[in-house]
Structure 1
Amino acid sequence: MQKLNQFLKFEPILKEKIWGGEKLATLLKKQTNKKNIGESWEVSDVEGDTSEVVNGDCKGKNLKELIAEFKGDLVGEKVFKSFGTKFPLLIKFIDAKEALSIQLHPNDELAMKRHNSFGKTEMWYIMQADDKANLIVGFQKDSNKEEYLHHLENKSLLEILNVDEVSKGDVYFIPTGRVHAIGAGVLLAEIQQTSDITYRVYDWDRQDDQGNYRDLHTDLALDAIDYKAEKKYTTSYSKQENKSSEIVSCPYFTTNVLPVNGKIALNHNDKDSFVIYMCVEGEVTLSNEFTTETIALGETILIPASIKEFSITSSVKSELLEVYIQ
């Protein structure tokens, strides 16, 4: 078996959404003739939407084929042992021109029982937000099924849900069961488990072009909701130039922020995992003795587990999200 010694770039999978906008094309330079693009799936192994390589010797191969061929060299021995040929994360950029539905995701146990799927723990990193743009995340105070159903039936959920205005750099961790919605005017990076299971509970009574309402999942959601409230929902973190600083660490993924100025040398010998970089500001070049690739704002690259040492260089103020599995 040949050694996997290239950085991997994938063709974005663009998703039209009733709430989508133009920022993925205008700000993140996604090439498309589609309108209302809500999501760019950067690295995906969701059934029917498996990412395909666009660079190097692996060009034309999809993610599932690569895992089958390279196994632990691609994803890490521990990851391969746990997930086999299923890539465990789904990496996205999301543009909400209008608010998304109020929704939540089931945990692993419920998702497997009901849908033969992983659950969907996720996190958001705000890349840009219009003035007064906000998110719905969690409850204002502890709630219960009865109170929730009362407000759902009366279309008054916002009276009990927490709403935060957001700005660039804000981070939100969304565990399974937490009610949430991305508000209008928000552009963000999303890291999540590989799952497309969403329980939609309220969609603002909006209709599509044919006058249809989207399906709601009221009954499925009741036993999946976490009714407990948090004191605050934002994730606090600090960052330091040319160093990786942890933002979120959970059993499903770890995400660090890495501001890059000049040249830095990276060593991932401590990790038994692939590493994904999402460029959320500027432009960087990654290189080692075998391969060199550049990613700019809105682009993503996957570093195989077999590549442990490389450099990252930037001549402009740049920032990356660094994602892997512990």
Structure 2
Amino acid sequence: MYPLKFKPIVKDKIWGGSKLEKLYGKKPDGLPNIGESWELSGYPNDVSVVSNGYLAGKTLQELLDTYKEQLVGKRVYSRFGNSFPLLFKLIHAEDNLSIQVHPDDKTALKRHNTLGKTEMWYVLHAEPKAELIIGFNKNYSKKAYLKALEEDKVEELLRHVPVEPGDCFFIPAGLVHAIGKGIVLAEIQESSDATYRIYDYKRKDVEGNERELHTELALSVINFKASKYPKTEYTPVLNEFVPLVKCEYFTTELLDFNNKVTLPYNLTETFVVYMCLEGNFEISGGTSITHVKKGETIMLPAGMKYPTLIPDGRAKVLEVFID
């Protein structure tokens, strides 16, 4: 097999805008407000389709059904079988997203027969004064939380975090959060769309209706304790993989490089995904050379041996795998 590219799946969102097209060339397909581009997805009804090489036109699910552990690796296949476990997105918030929370695996399986949703964010662009909402600013009771919801004051209970490009955040299931307006980020998450919306600024959809809230469903999954400082601290080092997030669902590292980098492993246990944040690069492995440009996401199947990344001048990528 060879490095796989996929056709982006763009999503129209009430809070979306045009920056994913302007910054990364994501075509809106006639949709007015692109909020998300699903770069790599095995999620039902939104499965990615290969766009390069002899497998072009095949879906990720078809590849997984055919190639199994050769595609995702022995360890990953033994754990997840024919289900692709992660979802990779680019997100543009022209307006504030709803304040929300996600269930963990146990709750999501019981309620929705799906995975839970633990995720991480890497900020790519932020307007002045842009901020994220991440967790509570101190410990609260359910009673105090419900009172604040009723009085439209829930924002006062939450931690508001100013952001700039390069900031990284880990968002486990149960942590209340929201992406604020003026932010573009990369999101890596479990393959799930289990979301409980708890506050939406009384925003109305195109038909004039306020969007549904999930107050009761959210109550049993929210972590009401004050969040620890949510930002992932790291020191960038040129031409070295820098750890960002390591959890049971995924491991993410940052590579900022201007020299050729040969990966020091033979992929057998897991696939590897690269999200190109800045610049362009190419991957050589076996007899193939694949060019990757800013804003593209590429998957290295588990069967690849000692691939090499070669930047066009300088490039920056997120490397993601399952440890």
Which TM bucket (shorter chain)?
over 0.9
**Which residue identity lines up with residue 196 of structure 1 in the other structure?**
D
Mapped to 2, the partners of 1:289 and 1:150 lie a distance apart of 61
| 1:269 paired residue among 256, 266, 291 | 266
**Which residue identity lines up with residue 16 of structure 1 in the other structure?**
D
Mapped to 1, the partners of 2:119 and 2:112 lie a distance apart of 18
Counterpart check, 1:109 vs 2:102: no
Equivalent pair of 2:285/2:304 in contact (CA under 8 Å): no
- For residues 95-140 of structure 1, the C-alpha deviation after alignment (integer angstroms, 9 at most, x for no partner) is 0000000001000111001000100000000001011111000000
* RMSD of Structure 2 on Structure 1 (CA): 1.0
Match of 1:324 in 2: 321
Mapped to 2, the partners of 1:255 and 1:158 lie a distance apart of 30
Counterpart check, 1:14 vs 2:13: no
Q: TM-score, normalised by structure 1?
A: 0.97
Equivalent pair of 2:139/2:226 in contact (CA under 8 Å): yes
Equivalent pair of 1:95/1:188 in contact (CA under 8 Å): yes
For residues 1-326 of structure 1, the aligned pairs below 5 Å read 5-32=1-28, 33-269=30-266, 272-326=269-323
Aligned length: 322
**297-306 or 287-296, larger mean C-alpha shift:** 287-296
**Partner SS, residue 190 of structure 1:** strand
Mapped to 1, the partners of 2:7 and 2:75 lie a distance apart of 27
Q: TM-score, normalised by structure 2?
A: 0.98
Equivalent pair of 1:267/1:308 in contact (CA under 8 Å): no
- For residues 266-287 of structure 1, the C-alpha deviation after alignment (integer angstroms, 9 at most, x for no partner) is 1333761000000111111111
**Which residue identity lines up with residue 17 of structure 2 in the other structure?**
G
Mapped to 2, the partners of 1:27 and 1:48 lie a distance apart of 27
**228-237 or 58-67, larger mean C-alpha shift:** 228-237
**Partner SS, residue 69 of structure 1:** helix
**133-142 or 27-36, larger mean C-alpha shift:** 27-36
Equivalent pair of 2:267/2:303 in contact (CA under 8 Å): no
**Which residue identity lines up with residue 92 of structure 2 in the other structure?**
D
**286-295 or 75-84, larger mean C-alpha shift:** 286-295
**Which residue identity lines up with residue 268 of structure 1 in the other structure?**
Y
**Partner SS, residue 149 of structure 1:** helix
Q: 1:317, CA displacement in angstroms?
A: 2.6
Q: Which consecutive unaligned segments of at least 5 residues does structure 2 have?
A: none
**Partner SS, residue 312 of structure 2:** strand
Mapped to 1, the partners of 2:99 and 2:20 lie a distance apart of 22
**Which residue identity lines up with residue 212 of structure 2 in the other structure?**
D
- For residues 157-200 of structure 1, the C-alpha deviation after alignment (integer angstroms, 9 at most, x for no partner) is 12110001100000010000000000000000000000001000
Mapped to 2, the partners of 1:267 and 1:6 lie a distance apart of 18
Equivalent pair of 1:262/1:315 in contact (CA under 8 Å): no
Q: Which consecutive unaligned segments of at least 5 residues does structure 1 have?
A: none
Identity of paired residues, percent?
48
**Partner SS, residue 24 of structure 2:** coil
Q: After the TM superposition, list the runs of 4 or more consecutive aligned residues in structure 1 that deviate by more than 3 angstroms.
A: none
Mapped to 1, the partners of 2:193 and 2:227 lie a distance apart of 26
Mapped to 1, the partners of 2:27 and 2:257 lie a distance apart of 26
